[in-house]
Structure 1
Amino acid sequence: MQDSRPPLLYLTHRIPYPPNKGDKLRSFNILRQLARTHRVWLGSFVDHPDDHRHIPALRQWCEQTCVIPIEPGIRRFASLRGLLRGEALSLPYYRSPRLARWVGQVVAEHGIRSAVAFSGPMAQYLDVPGLSRRVVDFCDVDSAKWTQYAADRRWPMSWLYRREGERLLDFERRAAAGVEASLFVTEAEAEVFRRAAPEVGDRVGVMQNGVDAEYFAPANAGASPYPAGAPVIAFSGAMDYWPNVDAVCWFATELLPAIRRAMPGVRFWIVGMNPAPAVQALAGEDVVVTGTVPDVRPYIAHADLVVAPLRIARGIQNKVLEAMAMARPVVLSAAPAVGLAARDGVECSIADDGDELCRRVVELLGDPSRRAAIGAAARDCVLRAYSWSAHLRTLDWLLDAQGTDAGLAQAVQAREGAAPNAPALVRTP
């Protein structure tokens, strides 16, 4: 029987499988959702040697793939040509003539009219004849992230990061002006972009992160990986990602000593792949650095407390949702709490500064019944507010809308009861 699903182009800056880190969790769930209603042509990059073996697995969701291998060290050097061209360095990093040719070819050969680009730099491939419904999932305002990084660096990196923020914002504005809808992970991020790019504000919307609450469930805790007796504070995430590196270094060096004075014997476990040298250097009697683990769930589920002490964070953190889904009490700093639909003191614990974070950690470690209550409420919150399928319907509505500008606006607005953060207008050329 002929497949009646319409064709769609999906572009990601990193292979969306396996879903083992923040951006890949989102890009994979988008792929899985798109494949339910469309025949998907996937263009992507693979930047880690271990990921090459996962390319065949993508066939179960894709009609065809074009996955370009890149070596990060070489690409970083090549991206410096952006200095000569006056453009953001992120753009040449993800620029591939081979991928551009493939995009043009499959759009023409298969009559593809709709496209979704995951992450801003992939929008550079959307200016192709034939595409009439284009959505960019920016996730976060990356230009603002680079500007934030600049504040914590010395010259010349402060200058380079500030320049990247400025040039990338220029590109983000042009990209958003050239597509029908731009999506961000929280209303706070969307509002940052609306202020920076008011000319496209009516086409900016929100598609929140979700979590697989069946996979990240207390019933799937498995055996405890921790030695008996010592209270455990856990942090999970990709440990070569600078905001995570900064978070665990700050927590381990500045906050953990005070926590251990109040609660002797507490150990901090840093769970995640590719620990940077600064993270590896933290390992000792009080701190355990695991590196890659086969399954993160036991480390989350059997921790007495999960922390997310991020000082640099944009958007809802998957690590927080996963811990909440496994009914763990989470103590987090203010930055990752922005946009989180969880009540402080009920479904999580939010600290405004380091002293308060220490106090809240110590209080919860000393109160098992309160930890259990917050954990149970956290899982209820996830089940209520963070279903991937519910959030990703925003994409279906945007891609399926038909007709004129007015008709498209009406189609989106008609869904506002179920998707209040959908863009108010989706424009066609």
Structure 2
Amino acid sequence: MQILFLSRWYPYPANNGSKLRIWNLLRALGRRHTVTLVSFVDPAEGTPDLEGLRGIVSEVHTVPWREFDPGSLRALVGFFALAPRWMVDTFSPQMAETIRRVLHSQKYDLVIASQVVMGAYAGHFENVPAILEEVELGVYFQKQERAVSAFRKIRHSLTLFKLRLYLRNLLKRFSGYTVVSEREKGLLEGMVSGSERVRIIPNCVELEDYRDIRMPKRENSLIYAGSFRYDVNYEAMQWFVGEVFPRILAEIPTAQLTITGDPAGKRIEPRTHVMQVGLVPDVRPVVASSMISLAPLQTGGGTRLKILEAMALRSPVVSTSKGAEGLEVRAGEHLLVADSPQDFAAAVIRLLKDETLRESITEAGYRLVEEKYSWQKALIFFLKWIETIPTGSLSGISQLETRHVDDDEKN
């Protein structure tokens, strides 16, 4: 097939969770189909690395991304639009024109729009069958639930109302949609009809990318790998550094915390034993050398690639319940889970001090990734599914397993 893939994130280098998912999807698609990539690029990241995609996609077209500006004229006009303000403000006429131009250049069998932000361009798909990949809604519901003031609750309720109206109209333009977890599937089905079009493609890892990364552990080292462009990551680190880490240092004064990922102009207040190193060329050795990986997330949706990556790199994980949400994990077996500052600190201290427990958690986490969160397995289903979309054979699609690939599908 000729596939047009639309991405909010330029996928190489794959240095955040969204990019990792897109990168692995593109690698799989490129092995069986001819793929053209149209992607936003962040001007702050410099010139996109085209060589990194050589042999994976046949063409690359890029458009500069402009971050949401709440004070812009378009954002103010967005108060009166049916779509959420951020979608009104970030919509790019240049991206719309690029999509139209590429679609007119040759015949395409399928459009894959990655994330809701790219779904906004569905009106320019020229009647080519399309799927909306990785619809994430959980974060919007959580913002409403966690609002502490009446004003914020009303504001987030209005955003949800507009998003619901917007998606009901938008999703009619797509032949199918993917989500990363059962919870996200339930949220989507609560907004729109047509559950037979929804497929769960969980976030996974390509184990071959991690298998040979073996590093000696740094004594009492902790790591958090997450871009602060995603507010959930910044919020998580503010909570951990402010409320949890001092409790750990009181018990283990030599503990060291490393924070990697794009700081996006946001800095954690300088503290003893905390290093915010920003983007690194390859985060895998840093994670592999850490005694514990952290996932102290308070909000957000989907499933956490940072947890799966840590497990694949044999770095045991301590997470909040929210951080582990969407993963088929058992607390105390695959990772430790705690939600209060006291309990989270106690879990980290326990894991640092107990080598037997660390080894047990490490091995169980790695086996879990092998069995349930390997792209090799998930992509077999994804590829089989998308190849039915251009034919319109939805009845055939609905007969496929929607969560994990059964043994008979692997052959």
Same fold (TM over 0.5): yes
Please list the CA deviations of residues 93-113 of structure 1 after superposition, one character each: whole Å capped at 9, or x if unmatched.
442223323323333442213
Pick from 145, 170, 175 the counterpart of residue 180 of structure 1. Answer: 175
Matched, 1:208 2:202: yes
CA contact (8 A) 1:223 1:298 kept: no
Structure 2 runs not aligned, ≥5 long: 407-411
Q: What is aligned with 1:236?
A: 225
CA contact (8 A) 1:208 1:391 kept: yes
Question: What is the alpha-carbon distance in structure 1 between the residues aligned to residue 95 and residue 263 of structure 2?
Answer: 28
Q: Per the alignment, do residues 14 and 277 of structure 1 end up closer, same or farther by CA in structure 2, a change over 3 Å counting? A: closer
**SS in structure 2 opposite 1:42?**
strand
Pick from 244, 248, 251 the counterpart of residue 237 of structure 2. Answer: 248
CA contact (8 A) 1:115 1:131 kept: no
Give matches, 1:182-197, under 5 Å.
182-197=177-192
Q: Per the alignment, do residues 15 and 369 of structure 1 end up closer, same or farther by CA in structure 2, a change over 3 Å counting? A: same
Amino acid aligned to 2:36: W
Q: What is aligned with 1:257?
A: 246
Give matches, 1:50-89, under 5 Å.
50-55=45-50, 57-72=52-67, 77=72, 79-80=74-75, 81-89=77-85
Pick from 194, 213, 223 the counterpart of residue 220 of structure 1. Answer: 213
Q: What is aligned with 1:23?
A: 18
Pick from 149, 159, 164 the counterpart of residue 169 of structure 1. Answer: 164
**SS in structure 2 opposite 1:52?**
coil
Amino acid aligned to 1:92: V
Matched, 1:44 2:33: no
Question: What is the alpha-carbon distance in structure 1 between the residues aligned to residue 166 and residue 68 of structure 2?
Answer: 24
| Pairs aligned (count) | 404
CA contact (8 A) 1:113 1:130 kept: no
CA contact (8 A) 1:251 1:309 kept: yes
**SS in structure 1 opposite 2:58?**
strand
Q: What is aligned with 2:409?
A: none
Question: What is the alpha-carbon distance in structure 2 between the residues aligned to residue 274 and residue 96 of structure 1?
Answer: 25
Matched, 1:9 2:13: no
CA contact (8 A) 1:177 1:200 kept: no
**SS in structure 2 opposite 1:335?**
helix
Amino acid aligned to 1:254: E
Amino acid aligned to 1:327: R
Question: What is the alpha-carbon distance in structure 2 between the residues aligned to residue 318 and residue 268 of structure 1?
Answer: 20
Q: What is aligned with 1:426?
A: none
Q: Per the alignment, do residues 278 and 44 of structure 1 end up closer, same or farther by CA in structure 2, a change over 3 Å counting? A: same
Structure 1 runs not aligned, ≥5 long: 1-5, 421-429
Question: What is the alpha-carbon distance in structure 1 between the residues aligned to residue 155 and residue 47 of structure 2?
Answer: 32
Cα RMSD after superposing both structures:
2.7
Amino acid aligned to 1:244: N
Q: What is aligned with 1:377?
A: 364
Give matches, 1:332-351, under 5 Å.
332-351=319-338
What is the CA distance between 1:16 and its match in structure 2?
Answer: 1.9
Q: What is aligned with 1:387?
A: 374
What is the CA distance between 1:295 and its match in structure 2?
Answer: 2.1
Q: What is aligned with 1:413?
A: 399
Q: What is aligned with 2:140?
A: 146
TM normalised by structure 1 equals 0.85
Amino acid aligned to 2:399: Q
CA contact (8 A) 2:109 2:390 kept: no
Q: Per the alignment, do residues 372 and 417 of structure 1 end up closer, same or farther by CA in structure 2, a change over 3 Å counting? A: closer
- Aligned-residue sequence identity (percent) comes to 25
Amino acid aligned to 2:161: E
Question: What is the alpha-carbon distance in structure 2 between the residues aligned to residue 256 and residue 87 of structure 1?
Answer: 40
CA contact (8 A) 2:8 2:40 kept: yes
Q: What is aligned with 2:344?
A: 357
**SS in structure 2 opposite 1:268?**
strand
Q: Per the alignment, do residues 25 and 276 of structure 1 end up closer, same or farther by CA in structure 2, a change over 3 Å counting? A: same
Matched, 1:366 2:353: yes
Pick from 312, 322, 327 the counterpart of residue 299 of structure 2. Answer: 312
